[in-house]
Structure 1
Amino acid sequence: MTTEPRAVPPAQRTLPAMLQRQAGLFGSRALLKIAGGEWTHRDAARVAAMRAGALAAAGVVRGDRIAVMCGNRVEFLESFLGAGWLGASTVPVNTASMGPQIEYFLANSEAKLLVIEAGFVERLAAADLGRTVLREIWVVGETALDAWRAPAGVRVAAYPAHGEPAEPAPVQPGDALAILYTSGTTGPAKGVVCPHAQYFWWGVNSAEVLGVGADDVLCTTLPLFHINALNTFAQAALTGSQVVFEPRFSASGFWPTMRASGATVVYLLGAMVPILLAQPEGAGERDHRVRIGLGPGVPAAAGAAFKARTGVSLLEGYGSTETNFAIATAPDSPRGGVMGWLRPGFQARVADENDVALPAGEAGELLLRADEPYAFASGYFNMPEKTVEAWRNLWFHTGDRVVRDADGAFRFVDRIKDAIRRRGENISSFEVEQVLLSHPAVASCAVYPVRSELAEDEVMVALVAREGAAIDPAELARFCEGRLPYFAVPRYIDVLADLPRTENGKVQKFKLRERGVGPQTWDGRPAKA
């Protein structure tokens, strides 16, 4: 059995094969620390087989989907691994999702079973489960269900004990392992179909970029419902290292947490670094074992200040849910301020609107493809037209405008698509606009990003009131809070007489972005930052 992950034969690039491989190679070495459990590498395969047994007893079969709405706790990973062992797919649900979003994810994915943490159950009251094919709900933790009753035909039960171990399904590298929803721009969120081999390559590439070895301790405060954190498990499984999942990010508690976990590798997103730098300097920023971190989207100046204060270098990189870790910097990169250089196993093109390659120094859309089979997502679930559009001409179209410099480095310029990214979350302007338009006082609106003091996006809306109606921005924000994830609630609201439009009536959002935040703009600085 090879100890080099990149040398694993193609047929073994599946989750069951990965778990069996790590059990044989790393055995009793520590693998996981998470709320509710600690595992060795050998435990992972055993737990996956037993959770697969429980899923099979509930009627889940190969090819089915199960949804999981759960924080960073052991039940999430049990469900994910058990489904993959059985040949089913996991649909992670963002824990900030409210009833309408939960309903959409369940209906679009056609999930038969929902694993949900007790604290989120009450949100199901605002979801019409009759529009889904859901037939069973497993509740993690204690909850009172007096305020909500499941519709007929949906069984609700406590998260069950492990079942009898099931044999691993004969899954193939191209079979779906997960469906991860990413925000749409001109429509609802799209379910990215991630095959087993893509998950394998996420682990391989990330571990190589970070130089992960068997003696490392990987620690993340990022949520498991995103690929960034889910990928850390694959890194540990492939290298024999340990991964520690913390419940949430805390600026004041970050370094004490890293010190207590013994972390050597950490995972941060762009806005988290300025937040950490805003904390008072202290000895704890140096009293740790962290040797390196992954920090995509961190401003260059913030990254340099972070290293000066903490001694930790943050590596930049580029990857999306649909692709893989295709572009990255390294500790010895010749310069910073770039996304990085193309990694082995991938091809990149900076192209014009007709997919024609552009010369170095000229901005265009970043197109990517992989050399290895199934290293990228296989499409959008139940959205064939969107799949063809994104993967046209055999390239994945990222929707990001970049420049390739003469030395091969890629620099991010802006987003071509009308998407907003805040606190590591992709926000659909379309979905926010639909909520706003459901307010009786709103006649029309446009949602768009503006830059914040943390070098990321803030959500801004320009809107027009219905004739005879008055809009109270604070009341409108409260209206959104019960219908949108907290990070998608607009911070800035402008009430205008009309929106700038083309001759055909299309809203010209670029003019609104250029106009930006003005003295007349209502600023409802969110309480959750």
Structure 2
Amino acid sequence: MADEAFRAVPFAERTLPAILQAQASLGNRPFIRTANQVLSYAQAPTLAARIAYRLKSAGVQRGERVAAFCGNRIELLQLWLGTAWAGGVLVPLNTALRGQQLHHALHVTRPATLFTEMALVEPLHEAAQALSSVRNLWVFDGGNTHGRDRIGRSLLERWTLGNEQAAPEAIGPGDASAILFTSGTSGPSKGVICPQAQFYWWGVHTGKALGVGTDDVLYTTLPFFHTNALNTMWQALLAGATYSFGARFSAGGFWDEIRRSEGTVTYLLGAMVHILLKRPAQPDDRQHRLRVALSPATPRPQVELFEQRFGVKLVDGYGSTETNLVLSNVIGDFVPGTLGRVVDGFEARVVDEQDCEMPPGAPGELVIRHREAFSMSTGYFDDPQATLAAWRNLWFHTGDRVIRDSNDVYHFIDRLKDSIRRRGENISSWEVEQALMSHEW
């Protein structure tokens, strides 16, 4: 579908329930596929309606948060469909959260319902005081619970689903679809409010950059508590493609999983590219269907080596939980190793400390704003001061230092503030400090 066609989609229909219903006409075409389960486009709206009925029967109201503390599993994606159908807001939590950090995320979002898996029940006991808002605590895999276990005041129950269906709530493109936590550098993590239309435009723009079509299989090992893996589902949904995923990235098993899933599009981080290139060359390095990968922060030499060895094109760009795919290096001529040029529908500038625009070649902070309504975050949940600071002068301040060259191509330099990155993920130094201070020495 061309850009004009996506913009022709009525504004009110840029929501997950509306697109699910529109794409149901694709029938038995696989929408989400794992090694053991397939959800077709025809089945997706019905399943969403059944989950919504169960949630609403448990008292979940429009706008209430439904938290998920679990790994990559199809049930989480299905829960997102049903939560949106019920008018709720999904809050997928980082499975590495423990103690004070988990308590913070739960305390801030005050979920009405929490889903987890038995392997992650123990950390929830440590954060039991933050579960006062939780009316239902469900486990996907059941384990050994028989309705007798409690975490704080919440009864731990196995998630079951009936056949009753609920009508979709009348939600709009500006209503929250998810709250995703992003790490700060000088304070605790903030919950980013991601509206329905933001995910819609993620699917449009990233799908266009990667050339996603109906015959593609989009495969990811990135975690479902980050925007990358979630908006990948939207790329598949809008294109009528198939979404598949793995539990986590494994250098030794990556190509086997690509072959098993028949993936044609995947999602990497610069560190993952480096790890895959470091492995010894194999006779079957090109025996797969993969043609392209979204791979932020990958230097040009690695881009070229990866394509030479594996036959896979690496596409870069710029996006964050608060924004969208704002820059893409496949606009105009392909410029590997850069962030690329500004995507239609957004504006970008390089500014100094006073928000004055810098000339080409001069470093400064990347600031962004959007033209399509609700194609970026609407702010930080329950944190108006942080929202005002980040969106001052009506531009979102990314905290990234970049250069715009004479060809309007943007190049990343570094973060403005000290930051810690582990496996491509930002980690709040403030939260590390708080964890260290909580221990007796």
TM-score using structure 2 length:
0.96
Q: Secondary structure at the match of 2:172?
A: coil
Query: Which of structures 1 and 2 has the bigger CA Rg?
Result: 1
Cα RMSD of the aligned pairs, angstroms, is: 1.9
Report whether the alignment pairs 1:23 with 2:34. Answer: no
Equivalent in the alignment of 2:358 = 358
The residue matched to 1:283 in structure 2 has which SS?
Answer: coil
User: In 1, Cα distance between the equivalents of 2:211 and 2:356?
Assistant: 35
Query: What amino acid does structure 2 have at the position aligned with 1:316?
Result: D
Q: Is the 8 A contact 2:100 2:435 kept in 1?
A: no
Partner of 2:15: 14
CA-to-aligned-CA distance 1:70-103 (integer Å, 9 cap, x gap): 2221210121111111110000001111233222
CA distance in structure 1 between the partners assigned to 2:176 and 2:90 by the alignment: 9
Q: CA deviation at 1:337?
A: 2.2
Matches within 5 A, 1:198-209: 198-209=198-209
Where 2:287 maps in the other structure, the secondary structure is coil
- TM normalised by structure 1 equals 0.80
**Alpha-carbon separation, structure 1, partners of 2:36 and 2:113:** 22
Whether the 8 Å CA contact 2:137–2:157 is kept in 1: the answer is yes
Quote the Cα distance in structure 1 between the aligned partners of 2:309 and 2:102: 41
Structure 1 residue 163 displacement after superposition: 5.0
Distance 1:244 1:224, change over 3 A: same
Task: Give the structure 1 partner of residue 407 of structure 2.
Answer: 407
| Residues 248/335 of structure 1: CA separation in 2 closer, same or farther (3 Å cut) | same
Work out whether residues 181 and 190 of structure 2, in 8 Å CA contact, stay in contact via their aligned partners in 1. yes
Aligned with 2:151: secondary structure? coil
Stretch of structure 1 that moved more, 402-411 or 77-86: 77-86
Q: Does the 8 Å contact 1:106/1:132 carry over to 2? A: no
CA apart distance, 1:402:
0.3
* Aligned twin of 2:184: 184
CA–CA distance in structure 2, aligned partners of residues 4 and 252 of structure 1? 41
Structure 2 counterpart of 1:44, one-letter code: A
Cα offset for 1:14? 0.8
Give the counterpart letter for 1:260 in structure 2.
R
Residues 244-393 of structure 1: pairs in structure 2 closer than 5 A:
244-330=244-330, 333-393=333-393
- Partner in structure 2 of residue 96 of structure 1: 96
2:170 and 2:313 map into 1 onto residues whose CA distance is 42
**1:55/1:83 contact within 8 Å kept:** yes
Residue-pair matches, total: 439
- Deviations for 1:462-488, whole angstroms, at most 9, x for unmatched residues? xxxxxxxxxxxxxxxxxxxxxxxxxxx
Question: What displacement does 1:338 show?
Answer: 1.0
Residue 149 of structure 1 corresponds to 150
Q: Which amino acid in the other structure matches residue 335 of structure 2?
A: R
Task: Name the amino acid aligned to 1:337.
Answer: G
State the 1:309 CA deviation.
0.7
Aligned-pair CA distance for 1:298: 1.6
Q: What's 1:436 paired with?
A: 436
Name whichever of 120-129 and 401-410 sits farther off: 120-129
Q: In 2, Cα distance between the equivalents of 1:131 and 1:337?
A: 45
Q: Shift in Å at residue 332 of structure 1? A: 7.1
Partners of 2:259 and 2:289 within 8 A in 1: yes
- CA drift of 1:245 comes to 1.1
Query: Secondary structure in 2 aligned to 1:232?
Result: helix
The answer to whether structure 1 residue 394 and structure 2 residue 394 are counterparts is: yes
The residue type paired with residue 109 of structure 1 is: T
Aligned-pair identity in percent equals: 48
Q: Cα distance 1:324–1:240, how it changes in 2: closer, same or farther (>3 A)? A: same
In the other structure, the counterpart of 1:66 is: 66
Give the partner amino acid of 2:304: A
Q: Write out aligned runs for 1:491-506 (5 A).
A: none
Structure 2 gaps of 5+ residues are none
Alignment partners' CA distance in 2, 1:131 and 1:200: 31
| Residue type of the alignment partner of 1:211 | G
Shift of residue 334, structure 1, vs aligned partner: 4.4
Higher relative contact order (CA 8 A, sep 6+): 2
Instruction: Encode CA deviations 1:480-518: one digit per residue, 9 max, x unaligned.
Output: xxxxxxxxxxxxxxxxxxxxxxxxxxxxxxxxxxxxxxx
Deviation string for 1:414-454 (max 9, x for gaps)?
Answer: 1013332221222000000111122333xxxxxxxxxxxxx
Of 97-106 and 190-199, deviating more is 97-106
State the partner residue of 1:500. none
C-alpha displacement at 1:128, in angstroms? 3.1
**Equivalent residue number for residue 424 of structure 2:** 424
Residue number in structure 2 paired with 1:469: none
Q: Deviations over 1:189-236 (max 9, x none)?
A: 100000000011111111011010111111111111111011111011
TM-superposed CA distance for 1:144, in Å, is 4.3
Name the residue aligned to 1:506: none
Q: Which residue of 1 aligns with 2:212?
A: 212
Q: Would the alpha carbon gap of residues 148 and 102 (structure 1) be closer, same or farther in structure 2, given more than 3 Å must change?
A: farther
Change (3 A) 1:184 1:148: farther
Shift in alpha-carbon separation, 1:125–1:300, aligned structure 2, 3 A: same
2:414 partner SS: strand
Any idea what SS the aligned residue of 1:260 has?
Answer: helix
Gaps of 5+ in 1: 442-529
Query: Secondary structure at the residue paired with 2:123?
Result: helix
Whole-Å Cα distance in 2 between the matches of residues 156 and 66 of structure 1?
A: 15
